[in-house]
Amino acid sequence: MELKEKLLSSFLAFEQKVDINAALHDVRTDALKVFENKGFPTKKEEAWKYTSLNAVLATDYNILPKNESDVEWKDVQKYFLNDVDTYKVVFINGVFSSHLSSTTHDGLDVCLMSSALTKPKYKMVIDTYFNQVANKEDSLTNLNTAYAFEGAYINIPKSTVVQKPIEILYFTTGTSSNFVQPRNLVIVGENAHVQIIERHQSLTDTAMFTNSVTEIYAAKRAIVDYYKLQNDLLTTNLVDNTYIEQKQESRVSVHTFSFGGNITRNNLNFYQKGERIDSTLKGITIIGEKQHVDHYTLVNHEEPNCESHQNYKGIYDERSTGVFNGKIYVNKIAQKTDAFQQNNNILLTDKATLNTKPQLEIFADDVKCSHGCTIGQLDESAMFYMQQRGIPKKEAKALLMYAFTDEVISSVAIPDLQLKLQKLISMKLGVNIGFDI
């Protein structure tokens, strides 16, 4: 049975398994109809022109996965944020792991999406925010909405500064090939500030497919720092849809670090719903073998006097493929918009491939918008200079690549995360760079 048919036929069993209210049932069935009509995206769609899911969809996945493996703290400790005390919401094959998690309702909510979807006390919040900013036309987003049940629910009240980071961790393991669909909802109140780290990490080489959706709402003057760390094994595939709605004077930054996985597709959508908003999108991709990473970004400038800053760096080795498709839309009333987009890439072999397509759609006349893209190789003169001063070729090459990524790494606001990323990059480059990272 094809995956699409399996998902359609399994929906009734899914709804019988979970406790769903009538209103959410209607949302689910409407979303499933959209997916039924559209199916999985193909390369015939302009937005998916360079990314094919055909090979991924050929696997016979378990649609309603169970946690079949006992994962202990010692097995995953190295994936947490070092020794920093954090709130943690941990999932194993899409199933919540209570003994690895540290949730709270003390002044803020860091808990489970399943609780928010089923408990009456959360009904007003769910009715107000759930599935409101997500794209109602996107087939995979609708599929996730139809099956949405588990994930992280984070609600930060007005004027609350969260004193420690929040970690959302998705581990995949076991022997069964699973299709998991986490759904995250993040609500950040007026004048509140939060730092969130979302990590996808496979522990075994079993084939996995994750279709993830995150909705983030930033109220007036809210500050949200969101970090995505993707370092799966080569048997894992990830489609990550993130939708962000910002209100007046809010600041939201999303950093995406793609280091692993077979096929990774990151859809990042910002919608500015007020004036003096700042949106930041940054990312680093370092892949090799036949890995494929596709970044698709949208910043919708709907109001005047707002800014957006995009900066994506990519290093591609062996037969890997990178895609960057970035779009900036400026509404006709969005005067005084300042929008910047940059995509810089290094191809380490002549068999690595990059497809990049920066786009500007501007309907206002008093704006400052720019975009740029570079595709090149390492600077041979710089390599020669470093080797002449006693640095071996391998280390010189790694230092140049590390320096290439440093502009993004240095903007990470959590020191311990910055340290962990530096070490991961050093490992990806395959060398001990030779200084304290």
In whole angstroms, what is the distance from residue 57 CA to residue 435 CA?
Answer: 43
Task: Map out the domains of the chain as residue ranges.
Answer: 3-273, 389-436
Q: Is 158 in contact with 189 (CB distance < 8 Å)? A: yes
In whole angstroms, what is the distance from residue 146 CA to residue 205 CA?
Answer: 28
Instruction: Specify the pLDDT at position 401.
Output: 83
In whole angstroms, what is the distance from residue 177 CA to residue 182 CA?
Answer: 16
Measured in whole angstroms, how far is the alpha carbon of residue 256 from the centre of its chain?
A: 6
Give me 355's structure tokens.
């497809």
pLDDT per residue as tens, the chain (437 positions): 699 999 999 999 898 888 666 678 889 999 999 999 999 999 999 999 999 999 999 999 999 877 656 788 888 999 999 777 999 999 999 999 999 999 999 999 999 999 999 898 999 999 999 999 999 999 999 999 999 999 999 999 999 999 999 999 999 988 889 999 999 999 999 999 999 999 999 999 999 999 999 999 999 999 999 999 999 999 999 999 999 999 999 999 999 999 999 999 999 999 999 999 999 999 999 999 999 999 999 999 999 999 999 999 999 999 999 999 999 999 999 999 999 999 999 999 999 999 999 899 999 999 999 988 888 877 667 666 566 666 777 777 777 888 889 999 999 999 999 999 988 888 888 766 554 43
Instruction: Specify the pLDDT at position 383.
Output: 64
Give me 41's structure tokens.
């995206």
Q: What is the pTM of this model?
A: 0.94
Instruction: Specify the pLDDT at position 69.
Output: 65
In whole angstroms, what is the distance from residue 257 CA to residue 418 CA?
Answer: 11
Give the β-pairing of 166-172 and 152-156: unpaired
